[in-house]
């Protein structure tokens, strides 16, 4: 049968006179028209349309299908949908998906760059486009995905999660029943511990009454104490029992391979597979960034993270806008003093 229904598309499958042709369409009517056109091409010896692209599928339709599948019920999704809309305003809403090329994507990125978008924002735009193209390839609507370039950020691997990404992380890992990894990721995010430090943590290292944990094996060789947020305290309370304390069991019974596989799945699910800076260590950067953004002194952040040198902590100094505001108020006070002196 030359036309058949598969998933959300109608597939034309023709095998005639040594010619094998297969292509998907978004509706049965389009499939019938395509079949007639292809049969005539074969009879007349004319070239056939490009295989594996959906007839009538445009950039806007593809983006809508991506939003319906991945982003319809979360704050993170709403952010992505708004980003999609801005991309379509530049790319065009009626572009056939087979015409979306690396050059076209580069032009979109350059437009946003000229309008002041940061490297991080440009990479999020690329990731948003990439998610839709991956869906098109997975569904057989496109034969292959155009190459997307990634833009290095000035601060190396100082990638941190925004609140919408954190919310999406919790939601998707809960839905996937990956609660162990979910709790471990949130633990790293709120404590700023390195992956190895978190995996080595045992029941005896935690003092729930004081609300602290002790890290004995550290990168700089100096043990440190880290306070617990309410969220981390709740996570640990469900994992620490009397037997665990007596046997000094690890709190998180996870392997490196399990963590890697779940993180890679999460990154792909978020459409960030091309974001080379979205690594597990981003959770530590997120903790540090939030501490600095909320006015915690850099020396305290250094102690919290266990940095041997303050120079490591200074990478986050540009986020400390509160100190800059305080400094401006000092200058304003000096201005008033001078006004009084000259008045």
In this structure, are 168 and 243 located in the same domain?
yes
Q: Are the C-beta atoms of residues 213 and 225 closer than 8 Å to each other?
A: yes
Task: Report CA-CA distances (Å) from 205 to 200, 201, 217.
Answer: 10, 6, 11
Domain region containing 30: 3-44
pTM: 0.59
CATH number, domain containing residue 171: 1.10.443.10
Dihedrals φ, ψ of 226, to 5°? -125, 130
Task: Assess contact for 88 and 67: CB atoms under 8 A.
Answer: no
Whether the Cβ atoms of residue 193 and residue 284 lie closer than 8 Å to each other? yes
125 and 233 in a common domain:
no
* Cα angle, residue 173 at apex, residues 71 and 161 outer, rounded to 5°: 70
Q: Assess if residue 283 is contained within a domain.
A: yes
Classified as helix, coil or strand, 4 is: strand
In the chain, how many domains are there?
A: 3
What is the C-alpha separation between 265 and 91, in angstroms, rounded? 28
Return per-residue pLDDT of the chain as tens, 343 residues. Answer: 578 887 677 888 887 776 667 777 778 888 888 888 888 777 877 766 655 445 567 899 899 998 888 877 766 678 888 899 999 999 998 888 888 999 999 999 999 999 888 777 888 898 889 989 988 888 878 878 888 887 765 555 577 888 888 888 998 999 999 999 999 999 999 999 999 899 989 888 998 999 999 988 877 778 898 999 999 999 998 888 655 565 677 889 899 999 999 999 998 888 887 777 788 989 988 998 888 888 888 888 888 888 888 887 787 776 655 555 555 565 565 554 445 545 5
Does residue 341 fall inside a structural domain? no
Residue 314 lies in a domain: yes
| Buried residues in 28-53 as b, exposed as e (16+ CB within 10 A) | eebbeebbeebeebbeeeeeeeeebb
Tell me, yes or no, whether 73 and 192 share the same domain.
no
Residue 320, CB-side half-sphere exposure with 13 Å CA sphere: 18
Q: What is the pLDDT of residue 338?
A: 46
For 272, other C-beta atoms within 10 Å of its C-beta total 21
122/130 Cα distance (integer angstroms): 12
Tokens 């980003």 locate to: 83
Contact 191, 226 (CB under 8 A): yes
Q: Answer yes or no: do 123 and 174 share one domain.
A: no
Question: Is residue 148 included in any domain, yes or no?
Answer: no
> Is 49 inside a domain boundary?
no
Residue partners of 221: CB distance under 8 A and separation at least 6: none
Could you say which DSSP state residue 315 is in?
G
Beta bridge partners of 11: 4, 24
Taking a C-beta distance cutoff of 8 angstroms, is the pair 253, 199 a contact?
no
Long-range contacts of residues 322-327, Cβ cutoff 8 Å, at least 24 apart: 322/293, 322/294, 322/295, 323/295
Same domain, 98 and 30: no
In a domain, 20, yes or no: yes
Domain shared by 89 and 189, yes or no = no
């Amino acid at each position: 049968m030359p036309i058949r229904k598969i998933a959300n598309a109608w597939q034309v499958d023709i095998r005639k006179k040594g010619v094998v042709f297969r292509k998907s369409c978004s509706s049965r009517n389009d499939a019938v028209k395509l079949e007639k056109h292809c049969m005539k091409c074969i009879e007349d010896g004319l070239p056939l349309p490009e295989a594996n692209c959906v007839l009538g599928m445009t950039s806007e339709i593809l983006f809508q299908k991506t939003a319906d599948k991945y982003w319809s019920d979360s704050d993170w999704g709403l952010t992505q949908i708004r980003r999609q809309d801005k991309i379509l305003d530049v790319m065009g809403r009626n572009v056939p998906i087979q015409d979306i090329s690396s050059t076209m994507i580069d032009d979109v990125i350059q437009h946003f760059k000229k309008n002041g978008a940061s490297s991080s924002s440009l990479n999020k735009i690329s990731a948003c486009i990439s998610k839709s193209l991956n869906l098109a390839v997975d569904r057989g609507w496109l034969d292959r995905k155009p190459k997307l370039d990634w833009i290095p950020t000035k601060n190396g691997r100082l990638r941190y999660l925004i609140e919408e990404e954190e919310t999406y992380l919790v939601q998707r890992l809960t839905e996937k029943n990956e609660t162990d990894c979910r709790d471990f990721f949130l633990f790293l995010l709120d404590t700023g511990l390195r992956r190895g430090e978190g995996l080595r943590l045992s029941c005896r290292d935690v003092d729930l009454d004081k609300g602290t944990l002790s890290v004995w094996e550290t990168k700089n060789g100096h043990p440190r104490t880290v306070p617990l947020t309410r969220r981390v305290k709740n996570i640990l309370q469900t994992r620490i029992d009397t037997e665990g304390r007596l046997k000094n069991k690890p709190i998180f019974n996870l392997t490196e391979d399990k963590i890697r596989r779940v993180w890679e799945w999460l990154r792909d699910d978020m459409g960030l597979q091309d974001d080379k800076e979205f690594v597990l260590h981003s959770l530590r950067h997120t903790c540090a960034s939030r501490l600095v953004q909320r006015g915690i002194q850099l020396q305290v952040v250094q102690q919290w993270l266990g940095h041997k040198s303050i120079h490591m902590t200074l990478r986050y100094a540009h986020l400390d806008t509160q100190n800059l505001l305080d400094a401006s108020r000092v200058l304003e006070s000096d201005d008033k003093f001078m006004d009084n002196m000259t008045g």
